[in-house]
Amino acid sequence: MLKFPLSLCLFFIVFSLKAQTPHLSGKALVDMQTGQITCEFTISNIPNLGKDYQLLLNKGFNIKHLKNENGDIIKYGGYYNGKMRGEGLVYTPMNNNEILENPKQLSISYTGAFPIYDGEYNFTDFKGLIAFNGNTLRASEQSKWYPIIYDIKNDQQLEQVTFDITVESKNAQQIFVNGDLPKAGPSANFKSTVPLAPMLFIGNYNVQQTSNALFLNTNMNKAQLAVFEAEIAEIKAYYKKVLSIPYDTKNVFIEHTAIEKFNKGRTWGFASYPTIAIAGGNLGETVDEANKKFKDSTDYPFYAHEIGHYYFGNVLQPNSTLFWFFLESTAEYLSIKASEAKFGKIYGDTYFKNATSNLKNFKAVPLNKVKEINQVNGTYRYSYGPLLWRGLEQTIGEKRTFDCLKQCLNTKGKPTDYAFFKEQALKSGVSNKEWTLFEQQFINSENVTALIKY
């Protein structure tokens, strides 16, 4: 029997209990052979949002019915010509012909079926897909496999919830819900009194354990586990040092098969803290046992990026127009700095030299002109955005850039738009003159590659 501390997620307590958090209860039935998912869920402890809220659910699900706190079946908008928000259809609970105001509780029953990619592939795979691959099911909060309340005024999806749910899958040996321990199938109950995003991982896989992590669907020996854990601990220690916020989380690492065909050597991953899921590789094969490090120098920044999402993704939960900039560009910038600390300044110089070469013809919407979240597209958020952080570093220095990042992390409950970026920079000690210089040189430019030094 696994003996892994139930304090797995205590790092959320400090900041997540400040606001009212939805509670998810009920049952999910998953058929691994057909890809069908049937859920009976109740969301309670819903914040008082008046009529400024929506209910989001993956577009692949069909709602059987929606009920209010009295158990009465109620109307809902969105079933006809519905609008999308990310991977979810937008629903609005109704009272007669008006939006139901301040529901204390909503119960929803729904069913959907999803493709099984057993030896076949889609053209893409990403965190927002509900992915069956013949052996495992992976469903993150981004996929909206469970109903999510959207706070319209604060532009915030309330993905992090407390929960008490039962998951049943007759064909699965192991069931895992992020925030609790993996448990043997075919049926298990999962609870968390700490708000987090309940990612789902079901199937037939091994569970390995070290003192500071769980590993699902991996097959590493003791030496490989020790090296892997040591490299991760080094990244966490660096972030604690430069951001002054400890990272004591005990992570769960998941190795899963992508439903997109990957060329050899390509790796992809995402974080649903405290879980980090990796596709496209064998974790044991990334470890150089003799030299006690990752074999490939690209592995260290890869994990540094995902670990960086603890800070920008959880300590600070981005929203609003600069959602992707604060979520992905910042995590990538942190991974560059962690890798510089590991490999020396040559790492950063090489990174920025390659980035500026690759992006010299890229045309960006200046950050202060971004009006819609997806104007910061994939290339922008992962590759161009870090150049803007580098530009700030060139303007005020590395230490003061970290001061700005710390100020952002310590500010909660505000839209992460351009005004937020400027306000936190000034509060961290950046002068108006320095910000104006940074703004004129880097922010107002459609392409800053010629300005980046290395």
pLDDT in tens, 25-77: 999 999 999 999 999 999 999 999 999 999 999 999 999 999 999 999 999 99
pLDDT average, residue stretch 425-432: 97
Confidence class for position 17, pLDDT limits 50, 70, 90 = very low
- In eight-state DSSP terms, residue 430 is -
- According to DSSP, the residues that pair with 131 across neighbouring strands are 138
For 338-383, what is each residue's pLDDT tens digit?
999 999 999 999 999 999 999 999 999 999 999 999 999 999 999 9
At residue 1, the 3 state secondary structure works out as coil
pLDDT reading at 422 higher than 70: yes
Q: Which of 84, 78, 47, 51 is nearest to 63 (CA)?
A: 78
Burial 32-63 (b: 16+ CB within 10 A, else e): beebebbbbbbbbebbebeeebbbbbbebbeb
What was the pLDDT predicted at 3?
38
What was the pLDDT predicted at 19?
61
Burial 241-251 (b: 16+ CB within 10 A, else e): ebbeeebebbb
Distance set, CA 275 to CA 114, 141, 184, 249 (Å) = 23, 12, 18, 10
Residues 6+ apart with CB under 8 A from 329: 376, 380, 381, 382, 384, 385, 386, 388, 389
Least confident stretch, 116-120, 367-371, 402-406: 116-120
> What CA–CA distance (Å, rounded) separates 56 from 86?
9
pLDDT reading at 318 higher than 90: yes
pLDDT reading at 288 higher than 80: yes
Q: What percent of the chain clears pLDDT 70, i.e. is strictly above it?
A: 96
* Cβ neighbours around 370 below 10 Å, total: 21
pLDDT reading at 11 higher than 60: no
Q: Class for domain 323-451, per CATH?
A: mainly alpha
Residues 6+ apart with CB under 8 A from 280: 258, 262, 266, 267, 268
pLDDT reading at 281 higher than 80: no
What was the pLDDT predicted at 296?
85
E strands in 13-83: 23-31, 36-44, 53-58, 61-67, 76-77
pLDDT reading at 4 higher than 70: no
Assigned CATH for 6-202: 2.60.40.1730
Asked if 388 and 442 count as a contact pair (C-beta separation under 8 A), the reply is: yes
Confidence class for position 10, pLDDT limits 50, 70, 90 = very low
What was the pLDDT predicted at 346?
95
What was the pLDDT predicted at 402?
98
Q: Is the model more confident about 8 or about 157?
A: 157
For 243-262, what is each residue's pLDDT tens digit?
999 988 889 999 998 899 88
What was the pLDDT predicted at 249?
81
Q: β-strand 84-85 against 88-95: which pairing, if any?
A: antiparallel
Q: Is the model more confident about 18 or about 309?
A: 309
pLDDT reading at 5 higher than 80: no
User: Which residue type is seen at 215?
Assistant: F
Q: What is the DSSP code string of 279-326?
A: ESS-GGGGEETTTTEESSTTHHHHHHHHHHTTTBTTTB---STTHHII
> What CA–CA distance (Å, rounded) separates 35 from 16?
33
pLDDT average, residue stretch 185-212: 95
Phi, psi torsion values for 10, nearest 5 degrees: -65, -15
Least confident stretch, 9-18, 83-92, 116-125, 224-233: 9-18
User: Which residue type is seen at 323?
Assistant: F
Q: Which of 55, 56, 114, 127 is nearest to 273 (CA)?
A: 127
Asked if 252 and 307 count as a contact pair (C-beta separation under 8 A), the reply is: no
For 187-197, what is each residue's pLDDT tens digit?
999 999 999 99
- Domain locations in the chain as residue ranges: 6-202, 213-308, 323-451
pLDDT reading at 411 higher than 80: yes
Between the CA atoms of 368, 372, 378 and 381, what dihedral angle is there, to the nearest 10 degrees?
Answer: 30
Q: Are 6-202 and 323-451 equal in CATH topology?
A: no
pLDDT reading at 226 higher than 60: yes
| CA 400, chain centre distance (Å) | 27
> What CA–CA distance (Å, rounded) separates 144 from 37?
12
pLDDT reading at 1 higher than 70: no
> What CA–CA distance (Å, rounded) separates 208 from 393?
41
Asked if 408 and 322 count as a contact pair (C-beta separation under 8 A), the reply is: no
What was the pLDDT predicted at 266?
81
What was the pLDDT predicted at 119?
87
pLDDT reading at 24 higher than 80: yes
Confidence class for position 15, pLDDT limits 50, 70, 90 = very low
- According to DSSP, the residues that pair with 110 across neighbouring strands are 39, 63
pLDDT reading at 2 higher than 80: no
What pTM did the predictor assign? Answer: 0.86
For 76-94, what is each residue's pLDDT tens digit?
999 999 999 999 999 999 9
